[in-house]
Amino acid sequence: MINTPVKINPTDAESASFRQIFEGNPAPMYIFDLHTYEFLAVNAAALNQYGYQKEEFLSMSALQIRSAEEAKRFKKAIQEIKATYYDYGVWKHIRKNGEQFFVHIYGQCNIFQNRVARVVMAIDIDEKVKNENELKEKNEEIADILESITDGFYAMNENWEVTYINKEAERILNCKRADLLGKNLWEFFPGSKEGKFYQEYERALKEKISVHFEECYTALGVWGSIHVYPKKDGLAVYFVDITEQKKNQIEQLMQMKMIEKQNEQLKKISWIQSHEVRAPLSSILGLVELIKENQDTPCNADVIDMLAKAAQNLDEVVRNITNQAQ
CA distance 60 to 102: 20
Q: Domain 6-126: give its CATH architecture.
A: 2-Layer Sandwich (3.30)
| pTM greater than the 0.85 cutoff | no
Which numeric CATH code is attached to 149-241? 3.30.450.20
Task: Report how far residue 31's alpha carbon sits from residue 23's, in angstroms, rounded to the nearest whole number.
Answer: 12
Domain ranges of the chain: 6-126, 149-241, 255-325
Query: In tens digits, what is the pLDDT along the chain, a chain of 326 residues?
Result: 444 555 545 544 456 667 778 888 999 999 999 999 999 999 999 999 999 999 999 999 999 999 999 999 999 999 898 888 999 999 999 999 999 999 999 999 988 889 999 999 999 999 999 999 888 888 787 778 788 787 899 999 999 999 999 999 999 999 999 999 999 999 999 888 888 999 999 999 999 999 999 998 888 888 989 999 999 899 999 999 988 887 887 777 787 788 778 778 777 776 666 666 666 667 776 776 777 666 666 666 676 777 777 777 777 777 777 676 65
Do 6-126 and 149-241 have matching folds?
Answer: yes
State pLDDT tens for residues 130-188: 999 888 888 787 778 788 787 899 999 999 999 999 999 999 999 999 999 999 999 99
